[in-house]
Structure 1
Amino acid sequence: MSGMIDPSNGGGSEFRYHCYGFDVISEMALPELAACHGSRVAGAVLDIRRDLLCLPPEIRALPVWSEFTEEGSFFWWGTVGGFHVDAQGHSIRIEVADGVSDDMAAFPLLGPVLSEVLRRRGFFVLHASAVEIDGVAVAFLADKGVGKSTTGAALLDQGARIVADDLVAIDPVTAVTQPGFAQLKLSPHNLPPRATRDDWVVRPQPHPAIDKARVMVSDTLLSAAVPVRRLYVLERGPITIPRIEPVDVDRALPELLKFAYAARFGEKLLKGPAAARHFRSAVSLTTATSLRRLVVPDGMEHLQDLLNVLRGDLFDDLGGCE
């Protein structure tokens, strides 16, 4: 059964932010996002409001539920609450469960819910981390626990700038990516040296079950869109020096589809016209950029020269995997 919005509920304070190329007007405080004063992009606004979602009792009794239609998308987590994204990705309506903090509700809001906003705005969204190096972006694609954020943090510590962590949004035609927000989710034992200083802030955890530290790296956030030059499938190996390997042409598309954020919803989302658009976007992106494999060693101490390794691949026409 489709969910509906109860328009009688809502109201409250407003906060203004900027991320992924659009302004955010929110009734919920979202300190993860960069604050802004006045709209900078005409017409590009995301409106976030509190609302009572008209979901039937049988849906509310479920631990997790989602629905995707041409008219909009609904998400429900019994321990957090419900979310609705409109058809154009211009608004999010939120019903936070009793006793749940806004800080906790921000986890799904700035993850799967925001990914749906970006998808509906035409981006191809990757479950990845991305940084900017000398005017171009590189993104790291990997399964959970391999070290996407750790690799990104190591590069930020060496002078790169953050584009996004977890949600990397790319225009599939131009391969241009928009900067998201300046937060990394890191295992406590993988915190870089800068995280112990004042310019990187480790935020308190909203729930004991969350095992990663949230590290704000606001001083490193990129301020403008950049082209993506490389997509790296990240792997860990028994080595001490990072290594870059080619990926067979016929493997590029399957790898990209595997790490698309939409893939976690399976056929619930990727069916009919939505599946066709998703596949066309993936094909376009594999044409517009280059995918390779990056094998990295365990431990931050072995990533100290990673920035130079990547620069060699990005800018040295005599080396790399071309």
Structure 2
Amino acid sequence: MFAYTAYNLRIHSEFPFPELSKSEVSQKPDVVISLRSLSQLETQTADGANKLVAFLELENSTAGRFLVESGRKIVVEPDPGIDEDLLRPFILGPAFAVLLRQRSHLVLHASSIAINNGAVAFLGHSGWGKSTLANAFYNQGYGLLTDDVMAIKVESNPPIAFPSFPQVKLLPDAAASLGYDFERLTSIHAGVAKRNNRLSLGFSQIALPVKRIYVLENVAATHNEIQPLSPQNALMELVRHSRATDLLTTPEFVSSHLRQCANLVKNVSICRLKRKSSLAGLPELVKLIEEDIAQTIFDEDKNIQLFASA
């Protein structure tokens, strides 16, 4: 049995996850990951919510089944001959997104970094540059908090983001722009274009309050620009970029998801980030965001002082 931590959870797994931070096997697990056949009882009693059984989709084809139950158990039943290197990204992506939602977290398609004791997130679909931008901040000395799957406890005051694991997935051109030799990065699988940049240092291992969310655009702009979003547009973007919404479709999960998104909009500043397409402009983009965050903190401090003197 292998033991790890991610999202402030103790994880025991029957097979290794080199992506995750190691833990002690002696500790009682919060989550157990197994590789075996699903029983008839497990499939018959699945409810599509806290006991979800679904098809395992790998490379746009069905490759088995999986079970996620009560935010505590993941069972994967792959078809014969499926490589573990393909299973791990699926488990750490879609399967874990379901598990985290079963644990009442809002799960966003986002990467995030630690700035001034807070979490700053970049929201967007795969290939939109959120991992690249997070890694650019990491190269400037900021801690990485999450890549691709961001779990938030919205009910906390303020909302809290949990650390995932010390890794960023990068495409060849992004890796080169960030100063990495792509061939030296860890291969995910022969058919996957991205590679893993595993970080030995600089991973933020504590949960942090969510300070700001930037929604990335998939259209190149003539200049970098940050635009505040209206509450209505911010809500739409959170719903659009949430994880596991196609798997957890019961009325209870749909209503709780909308409620979580609405609560986050009330408590966190959400902006649209327009960017030039050139990767060479990353340092300029990082500086713009740093200045925006610094101004936000200054305005918050000023408001606190005004309130105290009133």
TM range (shorter): 0.7 to 0.9
Greater helix proportion: 2
Secondary structure of the 1:253 match is: helix
The answer on 1:166 being equivalent to 2:145 is no
Equivalent residue, structure 2, for 1:8: none
Q: Deviations over 1:151-181 (max 9, x none)?
A: 1111111112111111000011221100001
The answer on 1:46 being equivalent to 2:31 is yes
Q: Deviations over 1:205-227 (max 9, x none)?
A: 4232x221222123221110101
Deviation of the 1:39 alpha carbon: 6.5
Deviation of the 1:97 alpha carbon: 2.2
| Aligned counterpart in structure 2 of residue 115 of structure 1, from 89, 93, 97 | 97
Secondary structure of the 2:137 match is: helix
* In 2: Cα distance, 1:68 partner to 1:231 partner: 33
- Aligned 8 A contact 1:138 1:228 in 2: yes
Equivalent residue, structure 2, for 1:303: 282
Change (3 A) 1:70 1:102: same
Equivalent residue, structure 2, for 1:190: 174
* In 1: Cα distance, 2:184 partner to 2:190 partner: 18
Equivalent residue, structure 2, for 1:36: 23
Equivalent residue, structure 1, for 2:51: 72
The answer on 1:17 being equivalent to 2:4 is yes
1:141-290, aligned counterparts within 5 Å?
A: 141-174=123-156, 175-191=159-175, 192-196=177-181, 202-208=185-191, 210-235=192-217, 236-239=219-222, 242-263=224-245, 265=246, 269-290=248-269
Equivalent residue letter for 1:107:
P
* In 2: Cα distance, 1:301 partner to 1:22 partner: 38
- Aligned 8 A contact 2:2 2:25 in 1: no
- Aligned 8 A contact 2:136 2:178 in 1: no
- Aligned 8 A contact 1:155 1:306 in 2: no
Structure 1's unaligned 5+ residue stretches are: 1-13, 60-66
Equivalent residue letter for 1:215:
N
Residue range with higher mean Cα deviation, 163-172 or 70-79: 70-79
Deviation of the 1:96 alpha carbon: 2.6
- Aligned 8 A contact 2:3 2:22 in 1: yes
- Aligned 8 A contact 1:183 1:215 in 2: yes
The answer on 1:81 being equivalent to 2:68 is no
The answer on 1:291 being equivalent to 2:235 is no
Number of residues of Structure 1 aligned to a counterpart in Structure 2: 289
- Aligned 8 A contact 1:136 1:228 in 2: yes
Change (3 A) 1:251 1:238: closer
**Aligned Cα root-mean-square deviation (Å):** 2.6
Deviation of the 1:148 alpha carbon: 1.1
Equivalent residue letter for 1:19:
A
Change (3 A) 1:193 1:276: closer
Q: Deviations over 1:117-161 (max 9, x none)?
A: 100011100011111112111111123322111111111111121
Output the TM-score relative to the length of structure 1. 0.82
Equivalent residue, structure 2, for 1:315: 294
Secondary structure of the 1:238 match is: coil
Secondary structure of the 1:53 match is: coil
